[in-house]
A and B are shown apart, each in its own frame.
Chain A
Amino acid sequence: MSHSSNVKSNPSFKKQLIFEKLGFSIFTILTIATVTPIVAVVIYIIYLGLPAISWDFLTSMPQDGMRGGGIWPAIVGTFYLTIGTAIFSVPLGIAAAIYLSEYAQDNKVTQYIRLAIINLAGIPSVVYGLFGLGLFVIFLKFGTSILSASLTLSIMTLPVIISTTEEALRAVPQSFRVVSVSLGATKWQTIRRIILPQAIPGILTGVVLGLERAAGETAPILFTGASFFLPRLPGSPLDATMALPYHLYVISTQVPGMPVQIQYGTVMVLIFFVLIMNLIATVIRSRARARRQW
């Protein structure tokens, strides 16, 4: 940034430059003060949680009213719930995004769809829980089960998947569509062979971020599928299940005399899960960006 010398020597500009330096310094300090606690918390959890992790802790059942043993059923439960959520929300979310990006016209219906997506994204997680209880558990008689909880989580995840997928589809240049159709491909052939492959990294990023959120949620599964303690692993989608976030809630508020070590171990596993998902999303995104030819 080079200013001409007569501006530089202007005393009021000099004063402004001092203001600028001061302002920048204050903002640097305050931003670091905002971000430091995040780093500190993660390091603190890893520091206390890592020693608690052992093969036994990960793969054995809880014992002694959660005060001993491991968290295997909670890990398995979260895995089932995440898969269940993916089965429902990924195809539906991608199809809805294809509609918005490739088919929808700029009319009232599309506006209502967008309004609905904004709304879905804003509904509190506990309200999803109420809805899941009313529709899946009671009305459709799925009971408190993996199925009910997965369906509830799917609807909650849908707006994330739809908006990121739509963004990825829209980023594919219009010329790709024009060329494909002019070569005689149908609309669906164009979408299937040309647009989707180009948009896959963006879609995957959205899916991973959506599922990460679903895996960490507690409130929607409280009354739709989570169980305090189960002596054995769930055998079918109609069984209730333990889940990592709910387990953490239980052992940090409902069980008196809980060993801190097990609590930190559980947080560690949950955070590890989130970090891995975040990392996957970041890697997919940056690799796709580096490889993109348009």
Chain B
Amino acid sequence: MQQKKKNPSEFIITKTIQVSGLSSILFVLLILYFLLSEGIPAIFEVPFKDLFSQRWYPIEEYFGILPLILGSLVVTLGASIIAVPFGILTAVYIAEIAPKWLAEILKPLVELLAGLPSVVLGFLGILIVSPFLRDGLNLPTGLTAFTGSLLLGGIALPTIVSISEDALKNVPISYRHGSLALGLTRWQTIWSVTFPAARSGILTAIMLGLGRTIGETMTVMMVTGNAPVMPESVKALFLPIRTMTATIASEMGEVASGSVHYHVLFLIGMVLFIFTMVVNILASLISARQLKRSERILS
């Protein structure tokens, strides 16, 4: 029992660990503080009406961020149309259908895609995907919102696959046994028992995948053609576009710190921060609620 006496080094270590534990809160607050302190001035420097106008042309003091927000939304929507169905079916296949050896091969391949730096995907987009689309669809340029969506789909895919797969794996095996014992086939079991039970986990996966897509920078900057125009119809998908992230990345290097343009770029950062924060909190609420419900059912 003598060792249990408080010695000073143990005390210091414990305190250090406690402070480190709080560091994430500190960093989130710091990030929020810097975004606010550099972004809020933009609201006073640019009239509200102009900020939500349809023209982004900073050299002549046009700071309409609407085309950029819509640009991000169009690309994200396009990416989710690709990544959500393919991601979910791949997860179902890996978790429920594939033989074990095949699942063990497929999983690292999906992880490999997650590990590819986004700049590599952008590079492949420029060199392979965009010429292919330009010639195949007979477009004036291959650097379009659609090209961005296609590649961003690849970025959202691993997130959706791995989290959905976990959700499916977490469904108790007894559910499947019960269903099979009642005479349902494995295929019926997947769609009438396993998948519905994992529904909220899969929803979380989709949300987190979308969160990654909205925030993705390098790939979209490299392949979407960088034209800040308002998307007006479905045709906009096959025209160049500009997202919020790409705008910050391509313009921040050239602006004077403290200028109006600088503040507006931080304001865009703030909008992005809020977007992703809402998506992430919603995703974690969905999975937390599911946890509580399953605890209730299984207890």
Contacts and interface: CB of A to CB of B under 8 A. Distances in A.
A98 B222 contact: no
Interface string B19-39: 011111101101100110110
B190 to A, nearest CB: 8
Given A27-B92, A38-B113, A113-B24, A124 B216 contact: yes
A188 B10 contact: yes
Nearest to A38: B113
For B24, B31, B92, the residue with the greatest tally of chain A CB atoms inside 10 Å of its CB is: B24
A118 B163 CA distance: 14
A103 B13 CA distance: 12
B3 A138 contact: no
A155 B154 CA distance: 25
Given A20-B187, A158-B24, A34 B90 contact: yes
Interface stretch (B50-58, B229-237, B264-272): B264-272
Contacts of B291: none
Nearest to B116: A274
Contacts of B86: 30, 34
A199 interface: no
A183 to B, nearest CB: 10
B27 A130 contact: no
| Interface-central residue, A38, A104, A222, by most chain B CB under 10 Å | A38
Interface string A258-294: 0010010001001100110110001000000000000
Interface in B214-228: 214-218, 222
By secondary structure, the B interface counts as helix
Contacts of A92: 20, 23
A38 B123 contact: no
A130 B112 contact: no
Given A104-B21, A117-B24, A186-B3, A216 B10 contact: no
B3 A135 contact: no
Given A124-B217, A134-B34, A274-B117, A113 B25 contact: yes
B115 A274 contact: yes
Given A120-B24, A131-B34, A20 B186 contact: yes
B137 interface: no
A100 B122 contact: no
The size bracket of the interface on B is: 35 or more
Given A130-B248, A271-B120, A253 B126 contact: yes
B249 interface: yes
B25 A116 contact: yes
A222 B249 contact: yes
A260 B124 CA distance: 12
Contacts of B281: 115, 118-119
A188 B13 contact: yes
B43 interface: no
Contacts of A3: 183
B14 to A, nearest CB: 7
A129 interface: yes
Nearest to B7: A186
Contacts of A282: 108
B119 A216 contact: yes
A255 interface: no
Contact of A270 (B14, B117, B183): B117
Contacts of A27: 89, 92-93, 97
A126 B249 contact: yes
Contact of A96 (B24, B113, B211, B266): B24
6 contacts: A34-B89, A45-B124, A115-B284, A116-B24, A134-B34, A184-B3
Interface of A: 1, 3, 7, 13, 16-17, 19-20, 23-24, 27-28, 30-31, 34-35, 37-39, 41-42, 44-45, 92, 95-96, 98-100, 103-104, 109, 112-113, 115-131, 133-135, 138-139, 155, 158-159, 162, 184-189, 212-213, 215-219, 222-223, 245-246, 248-249, 252-253, 260, 263, 267, 270-271, 274-275, 277-278, 282
